[in-house]
Amino acid sequence: MADAKTIATTIHGRYLFEAPSRGRGAGLLIGFHGYGEGAEPQLARQRGTPGADAWLLVAIQGLHRFYRGRGEEVVASWMTRQDRELAIADNVAYVAAVTDAVVREHRIASPLVFCGFSQGVAMAFRAACASTRAVTGVIAAGGDVPPELGRDQLARIPAVVLTRGERDDYYSPEKWTMDQSRLREARVHVREMAFDGGHEWNADVSRAAGEFLQRFAKTAF
């Protein structure tokens, strides 16, 4: 029977950024897409958030790229169950490198908000908990809080918007309720929002995200 081993290597990641269309920047909003997507749809979600045109927008694409079906569209995934812990460490280091590069280039370090959709929600929480920079909050749509994050780690996040579609087959109401409890036990300020929809980031999520950004945006432009 063959022995399975792992080896560290260098891989290049891809991210999109969009400078604020007004002012010097109210803050930095970093987003993570869902499974089988690329950075483009996530950037579109962030761009569609009310008030986000005042923020520097960054959408990070998962390191593991593949073709959708038999077509030519390139999409990505954040991880699978195989070598899960190593993938988490790789992803966290990747996000930190992107954040550092953006801050150096654009000189916008705060407020710092992470957001995610579906599989990207777990990445948003992991990135926030591992960040060496002060984190303002997390916006989560259609995904759960990673099980490996403990109370002390979650306590590094001041505030969270946690949304779920009432017909979401991937993010159960039981899991959603459990995530709220975990966050509140860590003394995180949680705004939970259920909306009439399924597994999606829709206009209701965008409005909730916009209200969250407005709450923490820099007032000086």
pLDDT in tens, 87-107: 999 999 999 999 999 999 999
Mean pLDDT in residue range 107-111: 90
Q: What does the pLDDT look like over 161-219, one tens digit per residue?
A: 999 999 999 999 999 999 999 999 999 999 999 999 999 999 999 999 999 999 988 64
Half-sphere exposure in the Cβ direction for 117 (13 Å, CA)? 27
Range from 17-31, 143-157, 169-183 carrying the lowest mean pLDDT: 17-31
Q: What is the pLDDT of residue 218?
A: 63
Which of these, 103, 157, 137, 154, lies nearest to 209 by C-alpha position? 137
**Residue 220: is its pLDDT beyond 60?**
no
Query: Whole-number mean pLDDT of the chain?
Result: 95
Neighbours of 217 (CB within 10 A): 20
Q: How far is CA 195 from CA 3, 148, 163, in A?
A: 48, 27, 8
Mean pLDDT in residue range 114-141: 98
**Residue 69: is its pLDDT beyond 70?**
yes
Residue 204 β-bridge partners? none
Q: Please report the DSSP string for 107-139 in residue order.
A: ----SEEEEEETHHHHHHHHHHHH-SS---EEE
- Top pLDDT among 4 and 117 is at 117
Q: What does the pLDDT look like over 35-57, one tens digit per residue?
A: 999 999 999 999 999 999 999 99
Confidence of residue 133 (pLDDT cuts 50, 70, 90): very high
Q: Please report the DSSP string for the chain in residue order.
A: -PPP---------EEEEE--SSSS-S-EEEEE--TTB-HHHHHHHHHTSTTGGGSEEEEEEPSEEEESTTSS-EEEES--STTHHHHHHHHHHHHHHHHHHHHHHH----SEEEEEETHHHHHHHHHHHH-SS---EEEEES-PPPTT--HHHHTT--EEEEEEETT-SSS-HHHHHHHHHHHHHTT-EEEEEEESSSSS--HHHHHHHHHHHHHH--S--
Q: What is the pLDDT of residue 217?
A: 82
pTM > 0.85: yes or no: yes
CATH number of 14-216: 3.40.50.1820
